[in-house]
Each structure stands twice: as structure tokens, then as C-alpha cells.
């Protein structure tokens, strides 16, 4: 059952996965080739700056890849009236779990593209002893971030269904309300800051997304 579900999702998403894998592979090389003639990469600071640009580009690719796979899969189900999911001889919760696991496996492809591209890009630079390339760390963050983005979009689309837009609007108003509350009631600012730090710092749920993304660092 899992192998069949993986095969079906691969057929649905192979074009997107091929595109994101190619972009993830090419991004470090393209950024490096653009930076070399303009900056000369003559100092450690310039190398770290270029590594940060590579990291930011990788983060964007990982987020978009995860969200696209989740959104596209639900879109196909919705257009077909969820016939494929209902035809499976298993419960809905198990079908969704299998689909989520299959997507997690497929999202390893863009992360692999990041790792290979970053390794090739780092191999073309003669770095000073104080700097190091972190291709493996960058690829791992890309994989975890794509899983996170996929999980959030997957939960939104398959739980909220046709109410996805309503849920997004409620979340937007909720975040806006929190911002207004901190301005109107300054006493609540400390609690909001602590909650925000918990969410975006390691090991918080969004810590990997807000951590330092770079290919080159000390």
C-alpha cells in the first residue's frame, strides 16, 4: 500500500520535484559564479556574505518545495472528488499518514540537490583556514524546513478543506490582534516575546526556519 501511494504521488509531483531539485542544485553555483567576478571573494567577510545569500536562497526553495507538494496533492484530490483516497481499503487517517510519509521521502530529492550543488560550489573556492563550508548542514536544514512547510500546508488543506481561506484569514487577524495587544497593553509584551522566542528558537517548532542559514562560516 505504501509503495503504491509513493508511486502515485511521484507521478503527481515528479515535474515539481525535478524543478526544485534542479534549482536547489544550481542556486549555490549560480550565486557563486555571479559573486566571483563582482566581489573577487578576496576576504573572509565577502565569503561569509556570499554563503549567507546561498543559505537564504536555499531556505526559500525548501519552503516553496514543501508547500507546493502539499498544495498540489490536495488540488488533484479535490479536482477528482477525493475518489482515489476514498477507494483505498484503509481508514482516512492511515491514508493521510501514508501520504505524508511518502511526501517526506520525495522531499529528500531537493535536499540532495542542495548538498551536491553546495559541495561543488564550495570546492571551487579557496577558503582561509578560519572558514569552513557547511554543505551537509545546509542540506539538512533544507530537508527539515521542507518537511515543516509541507506539514503546515498539508494540515491546513486536509483538515480545513474548503475552509482553508477562512482559517488563513483568522490566523492573519489573530497575529494582527497580538501585535495590537502589545501596543495597547505593554504589560503583555513580555509574554508575547517569550512565546515568540519559544517558537522561533531551537528547539522550538520553527527553530530550524529562523536559525542561521549559510554555506560558509567560521
Task: Pick the closest to residue 148 from 65, 50, 54 (CA basis).
Answer: 65
pLDDT band (50, 70, 90) for residue 85: low
pLDDT band (50, 70, 90) for residue 84: low
Q: How many residues does the chain have?
A: 218
For the residues 45-71, what does the mean pLDDT come to?
90
Taking a C-beta distance cutoff of 8 angstroms, is the pair 216, 121 a contact? no
Element (H, E) at 92: helix 92-106
User: What is the three-state SS of 185-211?
Assistant: CHHHHHHHHHHHHHHHCCCCCCHHHHC
pLDDT band (50, 70, 90) for residue 41: low
Q: What is the pLDDT of residue 39?
A: 57
pLDDT tens readout for residues 165-197: 666 677 676 667 666 666 666 666 677 667 767
Out of 60-69, 83-92, 97-106, pick the least confident.
83-92
Nearest-angstrom CA–CA distance, 193 and 210: 15
Between residues 114 and 35, the one the model is more confident about: 114
Q: Percentage of residues in the chain with pLDDT exceeding 90?
A: 30
pLDDT band (50, 70, 90) for residue 3: confident
- pLDDT of 80 over the 60 cut: no
First to last CA, the chain: 47
pLDDT tens readout for residues 144-173: 999 999 998 888 877 766 666 666 677 676
- pLDDT of 58 over the 80 cut: yes
- pLDDT of 106 over the 90 cut: yes
For the residues 128-156, what does the mean pLDDT come to?
90
- pLDDT of 19 over the 80 cut: yes
* Mean pLDDT of the residues in the chain: 81
Q: What is the pLDDT of residue 93?
A: 74
- pLDDT of 35 over the 70 cut: yes
pLDDT band (50, 70, 90) for residue 109: very high
For the residues 7-24, what does the mean pLDDT come to?
89
Amino acid at each position: 500500500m505504501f509503495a503504491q501511494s509513493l508511486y502515485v504521488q511521484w507521478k503527481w509531483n515528479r515535474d515539481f520535484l525535478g524543478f526544485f531539485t534542479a534549482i536547489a542544485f544550481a542556486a549555490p553555483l549560480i550565486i557563486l559564479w555571479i559573486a566571483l567576478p563582482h566581489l573577487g571573494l578576496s576576504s573572509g567577510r565577502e565569503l561569509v556574505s556570499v554563503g549567507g545569500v546561498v543559505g537564504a536562497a536555499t531556505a526559500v526553495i525548501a519552503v516553496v518545495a514543501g508547500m507546493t507538494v502539499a498544495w498540489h496533492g490536495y488540488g488533484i484530490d479535490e479536482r477528482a472528488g477525493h475518489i482515489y483516497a476514498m477507494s483505498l481499503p484503509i481508514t482516512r487517517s492511515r491514508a493521510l499518514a501514508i501520504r505524508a510519509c511518502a511526501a517526506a521521502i520525495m522531499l529528500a530529492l531537493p535536499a540532495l540537490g542542495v548538498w551536491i550543488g553546495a559541495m561543488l560550489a564550495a570546492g571551487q573556492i579557496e577558503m582561509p583556514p578560519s572558514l569552513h563550508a557547511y554543505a551537509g548542514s545546509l542540506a539538512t536544514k533544507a530537508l527539515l524546513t521542507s518537511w515543516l512547510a509541507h506539514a503546515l500546508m498539508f494540515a491546513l488543506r486536509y483538515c480545513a478543506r474548503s475552509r482553508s481561506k477562512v482559517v488563513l484569514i483568522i490566523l492573519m487577524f489573530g497575529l494582527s490582534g497580538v501585535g495590537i495587544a502589545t501596543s495597547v497593553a505593554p504589560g503583555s509584551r513580555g509574554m508575547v516575546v517569550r512565546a515568540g522566542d519559544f517558537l522561533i528558537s531551537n528547539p522550538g517548532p520553527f527553530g530550524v526556519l529562523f536559525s542561521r542559514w549559510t554555506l560558509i562560516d567560521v
